[in-house]
Every structure is written in structure tokens, then in C-alpha cells.
């Protein structure tokens, strides 16, 4: 594996291997000295053309725990805001000598374009490209689901597990990557959103889709994953308004109370508490939200290790 560009490229075996390796990395993360020498002397560049705090920090901590040098490039305040092209930015970093480029960009396909280009030979990790994919998020979510339902020593797939994803499916790279990966690993995936935020054609990504959240929640899902709803969707006729969205598609306290006690709740963050998810739900014992963040570091260590540790 030279790059991690999309879940679609990953085989089942490669995916499970990353989950298993991430569980090994978790053991390092609870030690007093949380550092392995694996990537000592290698340089990893965080190339973020779009705002992100948690993903960038998660990758940075992951790389540092493997002893890599980390440089961060954020588009704001960099040469990109003065109009430098993607090509020249990548060539510049390449010329400085980096082994991996962790790329986030608002345009779909950017990680793939960099990986296919003559601009760079570095390993490329897609940290979110437009509305396309966010593969490490999907992997960390799969890891979180497997650990929660089967235990952290389990090495099997997700066969038989039912996951419901609720929210802005149309614009969500998290939804795409999750649906692709979870189904690849044997889970059943349901999608739920207003019709304006679902793909028009019968979704290539889901086993079930719902236009009504209550109907979806009665369909016995093991995991309910809520997605962040962007303010801007309110202004472009995708949605009518916050109140209605919260009433119809939010995981409110009253909806939550009707769920079985074993139903797990996830959210990739950052959350709009009170909009798509009630505070009480996010902070409940059934919430895996903190666990997702913890697993994010371990999973990203596994990815960096697989891409960078084995080569010369």
C-alpha cells in the first residue's frame, strides 16, 4: 500500500489489518511514555487547505507518537491565499523532502490527483477531499464499532451489525466512506435524511434508506451515527430551518429514550449540540463519541506505520 486515498481502494484484508494494528497502537497510547521509534527520521507534512482542528491534531499526535517529524501547512496565512496553485505547493513541499503528505482539501479528488501526478513521490493520505471521502474517519469508526460490540481482541469483520447514518448524506464524505467501508466489512447500512440531502438515484451506498427518522430508528439498528448539519444548508433550500430539522431529524432526548439501552450513538464531530444531537444523548453512556476520538489517534498511527515504516 503506497497511499491511502479512498475506502473504495482498500481490500477487506487491508482494512481489517489496519483495525488490528490500531488496537496494538492503542496499547502504546495508554503507556506512560507514548512513543514508538518506528518513523524516526521521517518527515510527515500536514497539508490542510481547509479548516480542521481535530483531524489535523489527530494526525499530528499520531505521527509524533511514531517519532516522525511533523510540519503543518494550513492554507490560511500560507502562499495558497496569495494564489499559489496546488501543484506548486506540492512541488515545494516535495523539494523540501517529505515522506508523507496528509491532505485535506475542499475539492473532491485532490488526494488522488496528487498521488497520480508527477508533482510528488511522497505517500499521500487523504484526510478528507471535498464531498468525496474521508477514509481514516471510516476506519476509526469501524474500529470503534468493532471494539464496542465485539471487544478489542476480536479480529473479525462486522457481519450482522446494523448501522444507521443520519444527516447530510449528500455532502458528507464521512457518510460515503463509512457506508462503503462498513458494507465492505459485512455490516448493513441504512441512510436517513430529507430527500434533498440524499442522492437522487437509489443509493449505491446503502442497503436501506429512510426519509423519516422515527421509522428508521424502529428498524433495530445497533449503531446510530449522527452527522453534523452545516448552517449553509438552511440557506439553499436543502432544509427549511433549524427547528424543523431538529424536530424531524435530530436525535433528541425523547427519541433517545425510546431506543433500546444497547443502541450505540456516534458522531464524527464537531457536534451541533441541540441541533442534530441533544447534549444528553452525546454525553450518555451509550455514546461512543469520545472513544471515536481516542481511536482516531491509534488508527492514524496504524495508517502511518503501514505506509511509511516498511519502506527502506
Residues that bind other proteins (CB under 8 A): 8, 85-87, 105-110, 112-113, 116-117, 129-133, 170, 173, 176, 199-201, 203-205
Q: Which is nearer to other proteins, 16 or 191 (CB)?
A: 191
Q: Which is nearer to other proteins, 175 or 303 (CB)?
A: 175
| Burial (CB count within 10 angstroms: exposed 0-12, middle 13-18, buried 19+), residue 294 | middle
Q: What angle do CA 92, 94, 96 make, to 5 degrees?
A: 75
Rounded to the nearest 5°, which phi and psi values hold at 224? -115, 120
- Min dist. Cβ of residue 20 to other proteins (A): 28
Separation of first and last alpha carbons in the chain: 14
- Min dist. Cβ of residue 150 to other proteins (A): 29
> What DSSP string describes 258-305?
HS-TT-EEE--S---BTTTB-HHHHTSTTB-HHHHHHHHHHHHHHHHI
Q: Which is nearer to other proteins, 87 or 255 (CB)?
A: 87
Q: Which is nearer to other proteins, 87 or 228 (CB)?
A: 87
- Min dist. Cβ of residue 176 to other proteins (A): 7
Using the structure block, give the residue that is written with the C-alpha cell 496528487. 114
Nearest to 36 by CA among 61, 11, 13: 61
- Min dist. Cβ of residue 46 to other proteins (A): 18
- Min dist. Cβ of residue 144 to other proteins (A): 23
Contacts of 277 (CB under 8 A, 6+ apart): 226, 250, 251, 265, 267, 271
- Min dist. Cβ of residue 58 to other proteins (A): 21
Q: Which is nearer to other proteins, 6 or 287 (CB)?
A: 6
Contact 44, 13 (CB under 8 A): no
Q: Which is nearer to other proteins, 106 or 279 (CB)?
A: 106
Q: Which is nearer to other proteins, 116 or 244 (CB)?
A: 116
- Min dist. Cβ of residue 103 to other proteins (A): 10
The dihedral over CA atoms of 43, 47, 51, 53, expressed in degrees to the nearest 10, equals -10
Amino acid at each position: 500500500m503506497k497511499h491511502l486515498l479512498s475506502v473504495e481502494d482498500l481490500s477487506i484484508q487491508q482494512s481489517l489489518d489496519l483495525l488490528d494494528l490500531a488496537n496494538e497502537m492503542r496499547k502504546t497510547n495508554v503507556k506512560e511514555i507514548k512513543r514508538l521509534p518506528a518513523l524516526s527520521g521521517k518527515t510527515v507534512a500536514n497539508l490542510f487547505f481547509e479548516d480542521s482542528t481535530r483531524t489535523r491534531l489527530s494526525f499530528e499526535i499520531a505521527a509524533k507518537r511514531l517519532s516522525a517529524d511533523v510540519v503543518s501547512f494550513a492554507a490560511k496565512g500560507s502562499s495558497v491565499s496569495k494564489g499559489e496553485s496546488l501543484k506548486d505547493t506540492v512541488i515545494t513541499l516535495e523539494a523540501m523532502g517529505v515522506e508523507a503528505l496528509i491532505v485535506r482539501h475542499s475539492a473532491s479528488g485532490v488526494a488522488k490527483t496528487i498521488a497520480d501526478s508527477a508533482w510528488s513521490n511522497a505517500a499521500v493520505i487523504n484526510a478528507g477531499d471535498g464531498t468525496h471521502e474521508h477514509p481514516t474517519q471510516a476506519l476509526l469508526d469501524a474500529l470503534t464499532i468493532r471494539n464496542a460490540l465485539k471487544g478489542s481482541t476480536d479480529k473479525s469483520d462486522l457481519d450482522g451489525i446494523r448501522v444507521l447514518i443520519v444527516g447530510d448524506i449528500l455532502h458528507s464524505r464521512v457518510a460515503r466512506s463509512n457506508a462503503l467501508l462498513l458494507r465492505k466489512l459485512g455490516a448493513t447500512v441504512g441512510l436517513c435524511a430529507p430527500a434533498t440531502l440524499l442522492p437522487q438515484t437509489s443509493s449505491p451506498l446503502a442497503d436501506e434508506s429512510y426519509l423519516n427518522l422515527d421509522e428508521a430508528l424502529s428498524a433495530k439498528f445497533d449503531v446510530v451515527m449522527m452527522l453534523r448539519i452545516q448552517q449553509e444548508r438552511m440557506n439553499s433550500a436543502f432544509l427549511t430551518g433549524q427547528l424543523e430539522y431538529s424536530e424531524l431529524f435530530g436525535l433528541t432526548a425523547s427519541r433517545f429514550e425510546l431506543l433500546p439501552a444497547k443502541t450505540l450513538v456516534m458522531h464524527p464531530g464537531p457536534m451541533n449540540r441541540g441541533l442534530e444531537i441533544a447534549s444528553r444523548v452525546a454525553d450518555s453512556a451509550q455514546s461512543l463519541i469520545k472513544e471515536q476520538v481516542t481511536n482516531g489517534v491509534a488508527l492514524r498511527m496504524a495508517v502511518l506505520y503501514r505506509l511509511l515504516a516498511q519502506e527502506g
